[in-house]
Copies of this chain bind each other. A is one copy, B any other.
Amino acid sequence: MKLLVATRSTGKMSEIREILGVVPGLELLDLDDAGIGPSPAEDDLEPYDTFEENARSKAEYFHRLSGLPTVADDSGLEVDALGGAPGVRSKRFAPGDDLDGLERDLANNRHLVERLADTAEEERTARYVCVAAFVEGASIGDRHALLEPGADTTIFFRGEAAALVIEVPRGNGGFGYDPHMLDPDRGRTFAEMSPEEKNAKSHRGKAFRALATVLADGMEARA
C-alpha cells in the first residue's frame, strides 16, 4: 500500500519514516516523491484553532491532489502557565514573518523563555501534542482500504508527551522546542535523546505508532 506523508519538514519526515518504516508492505512517499510542487505553503493549509482541523486540512488537500491514502500531522507545544499557548501557533510563536528554519526555532525558543520569565520552574509544565490525520477516500478497489470510499471519514491519532520548559537549552538533537523541553521521567531534554529514544517518548512517536499498528493490522487482516 502506498501512503503519502504530507509534510515538507525534513525533521518530521525522518521521524515518521523511522516509525512507519516497520510496517510490512507499506511504501512511504513524501510530497516530492508524489511529484507535488512547493505551493501552497504548509502554513496556508493550517489556519485553524485545533491540531485536528489543521491536520485534516492538510491531509485532505494532498489526498485530493495525489489520489493516494494520505497522512498529515499538526503538532505543537501547550504550556499550562500560558493558557495552552502557543498550541497550534507553535511554529509562528515569535514575531517576525521572515524567519525560517533554525533562525525561526531560535526566535521561538527565546520568546518562550521570555514569556515564562516570571513563572516558577515547577510551574512550567507543558506538553507536546501531535495529531496525525489519515484520509483514504479515493482508494476504491484497494483491498487494504480501512475507510469507505467517499464516506467523509477521517481517523485521527493523537499523541501527547508531558514536559517541563527549562530556561537554558540542552542538547543538539531534534528540532523546534526540543532543547527546552525536559522529559521529567528521564531528566533529559528531547534534544538530548537519540532519534530512537525521542521516538519512543515523543508525541509524534505515540501518534504514528498507533497509526502504524492500525495500518499493519489492516494489511495483515486483508492479506
Known contacts A50-B50, A50-B52, A52-B52; is-contact A153 B221 (Cβ 8 Å): no
Q: B153 and A210: CB pair below 8 A?
A: yes
Binds B, one of A39-47, A157-165, A167-175, A191-199: A157-165
Judge whether A146 and B221 touch: CB under 8 Å.
no
Instruction: Mark A139-183 against chain B: 1 for CB-CB distance below 8 A, else 0.
Output: 000000011100111111111111000000000000000000000
**Size range of the chain A interface in the assembly:** 20 to 34
Task: Report how far A159 CA is from B152 CA in the complex, Å.
Answer: 6
In the assembled complex, the Cα of A216 lies from the Cα of B158 at a distance in Å of 21
CA distance A153 to B158 in the complex (A): 6
Q: Mark A89-132, 1 if CB is under 8 A from B, else 0.
A: 00000000000000000000000000000000000000000000
- Please give, as numbers and ranges, the residues of chain B lying within 8 Å of A148 by CB-CB distance: 206, 209-210
Cβ-based interface call for A1 (8 A)? no
Give the distance in Å from the alpha carbon of A92 to the alpha carbon of B126 in the complex. Answer: 33
A72 at the interface (CB under 8 A from B): no
In angstroms, how far is the closest chain B Cβ from the Cβ of A46? 15
Provide the A180-223 mask, 1 if CB < 8 A to any CB of B, else 0.
00000000000000000000000000110110011011101110
